[in-house]
Amino acid sequence: MSSLLEILHKEVVPAEGCTEPIAVAYAVSLAAELLEEDITSIRLQLSGNIIKNAMGVGIPGTGQTGLPIAAALGAVVGRSHKELEILSNLTPAELKQANELLDRGLLEVELKDTPEKLYIEARVYSPNHTATAIIAGEHTHIDFLSLDGKKITPPKSKADCGKAGQSDSGAYAGSVDRIFEFIDTVPFQDLRFLLEGARMNKAISDEGLRGNYGLQVGKKMSQQSVVNLFGNDVASRIIAATAAASDARMDGSAMPVMTTAGSGNQGIACTLPVIALAELLGKDEERLARALALSNLVTIHIKHYIGRLSPLCGSGIAGGVGANSGIIYLMGGSLAQIKHGIQNTIASLSGMICDGAKSTCALKISTSTNAAIQAATLAMNNIAPTTKDGVIFEEVEDTIRNMERLVQEGLADTDTAILNIMLSKGGMM
């Protein structure tokens, strides 16, 4: 049982900004900090999924979008110890310095031909030295660090310190049965830390509802007017609260979010529907914490098969399934009904593709939240798809494993096609 708690601690962590460009800033910072001279150039080699997910997203505290400013900031801030919160407390002077670096044309970005979905290689040059940092597999996993070709032992990431490692595939795979038993029996005190994440994600949701971020999906859904077809019912309020957090995050809000399985949008998608429903139903902190543990672990379980970065939308599919499980738990549903809900949600969302991190992620998250609520309603009435229906199998674990098969066999070339379409617009890197 303890490994599931370790996984929660490892996979539910704070970040400021979209994790892909922030991971690029982190890699550049690791290399730049090894140099004691002025930087003369920066060369990035990135996997297609990193480019796809970093091209169109707002960078916190900058009013700018995409890879270049994230990489340049990594070179100047010197805060690699903060990992995915590296750009917190960004100063105007640092932003000015980063933009001057870009104005001098010192950054070069290339697509890396690698089977690794999450790969960042940052080479930073000074007049007499070269430093290299490689991040691979996970957003803060330092695969390689060197100065002038001499390998350096990297600092341990916070996620690696005493937590479950990437190699613990059995723990990551888990099962819905095992997850449900864990969240139902683990001491509440062990889960209390999840409430801080709830407060963090609720705060950025409130900010999204107040401000004019991105497409304003959540804000416009929450406003009552003749052009708003959504009412003030429970479902609409939950969807609006969830979408608003993504609106703010994707448009560069400097507020942190609690991520799940390497993604802030996944953290938003799997937690905010649960947070909003618990508030509307008047549930206590213990019930909320257990529901959040369930939603996060189910999301992590689905992501084990979809992949860290994927042609499928992790926020929509994994986050939506996680949210559905947490919603059913708050409604007093049984393990059997949670399994029905997972089947229903996968039947609804299994084809949602990921075309990068950007403002329209809020649209996908609003769609997945609606699907999660709809699926939960059916599940609470003991309704679920049958084996005659598409990718659904009788056992929920077989259905979940089909997501891996869909990615590996059915969508092998989808990422390449999406990236080529995005790059055809020109000027995005």
Tens of pLDDT, residues 272-282: 999 999 999 99
Residues in Cβ contact with 268 at an 8 Å cutoff, skipping those fewer than 6 apart: 201, 204, 205, 242, 245, 246, 249, 257, 315, 319, 365
Q: Please give the pLDDT value at position 226.
A: 63
Q: Are 365 and 319 in contact (CB under 8 A)?
A: yes
Confidence band for 255, pLDDT divided at 50, 70 and 90: very high
pLDDT at 402 exceeding the cut of 60: yes
Domain 16-160: give its CATH architecture. 2-Layer Sandwich (3.30)
Q: Tens of pLDDT along 82-118?
A: 999 999 999 999 999 999 999 999 999 999 999 999 9
Work out the mean pLDDT of the chain and round it to a whole number: 92
pLDDT at 1 exceeding the cut of 50: no
Q: Please give the pLDDT value at position 154.
A: 86
Residues in Cβ contact with 324 at an 8 Å cutoff, skipping those fewer than 6 apart: 341, 342, 344, 345, 371, 372, 373, 375, 376, 379
Maximum distance among all alpha carbons in the chain?
Answer: 69
Q: Please give the pLDDT value at position 298.
A: 97
Distance CA 322, CA 179 (A): 12
Domains 16-160 and 174-423 share a fold: no
Q: Please give the pLDDT value at position 177.
A: 97
Q: Please give the pLDDT value at position 158.
A: 56
Q: Please give the pLDDT value at position 97.
A: 96
Q: Which of 35-49, 223-237, 296-310 has the lowest mean pLDDT?
A: 223-237
Q: Tens of pLDDT along 137-191?
A: 999 999 999 999 999 998 876 555 444 334 344 446 579 999 999 999 999 999 9
Q: pTM, whole model, 2 decimals?
A: 0.91
pLDDT at 198 exceeding the cut of 80: yes
Distance CA 55, CA 51 (A): 6
Q: Tens of pLDDT along 218-237?
A: 999 998 776 777 878 899 99
Token pair in block for residue 355: 């075309």
Q: Please give the pLDDT value at position 317.
A: 97
425 or 123: which leads in pLDDT: 123
The residues spanned by each domain of the chain are 16-160, 174-423
Q: Please give the pLDDT value at position 425.
A: 83
Superfamily of domain 174-423: 2-methylcitrate dehydratase PrpD (1.10.4100.10)
Q: Please give the pLDDT value at position 204.
A: 98
Q: Are 175 and 182 in contact (CB under 8 A)?
A: no
Q: Tens of pLDDT along 306-361?
A: 998 999 999 999 999 999 999 999 999 999 999 999 999 999 999 999 999 999 99
Write out the chain in H/E/C secondary structure.
CHHHHHHHHHHCCEECCCHHHHHHHHHHHHHHCCCCCCCCEEEEEECHHHHHHHCCCEECCCCEECHHHHHHHHHHHCCHHHHHHCCCCCCHHHHHHHHHHHHCCCEEEEECCCCCCCEEEEEEECCCCEEEEEEECCCCCEEEEEECCEECCCCCCHHHCCCCCCCCHHHHHCCHHHHHHHHHHCCHHHHCHHHHHHHHHHHHHHHHHHCCCCCCHHHHHHCCCCCCCCCCCHHHHHHHHHHHHHHHHHCCCCCCEECECCEHHHHHHHHHHHHHHHHHHCCCHHHHHHHHHHHHHHHHHHHHHHCCCCCECHHHHHHHHHHHHHHHHHCCCCHHHHHHHHHHHHHHHCCCECCCCCCCHHHHHHHHHHHHHHHHHHHHCCCCCCCCCCCCCCCHHHHHHHHHHHHHHHCCCHHHHHHHHHHCCCCCC
Q: Please give the pLDDT value at position 164.
A: 38
Q: Please give the pLDDT value at position 157.
A: 65
pLDDT at 209 exceeding the cut of 50: yes
pLDDT at 379 exceeding the cut of 70: yes
Q: Please give the pLDDT value at position 128.
A: 96
Distance CA 421, CA 104 (A): 29
Confidence band for 124, pLDDT divided at 50, 70 and 90: very high
- At residue 81, what is the residue type? H
> What angle, rounded to 10 degrees, do the helices at 396-405 and 285-306 form?
50
Residues in Cβ contact with 80 at an 8 Å cutoff, skipping those fewer than 6 apart: 26, 29, 30, 33, 86, 155
Mean pLDDT within 63-75:
94
Q: Please give the pLDDT value at position 171.
A: 44
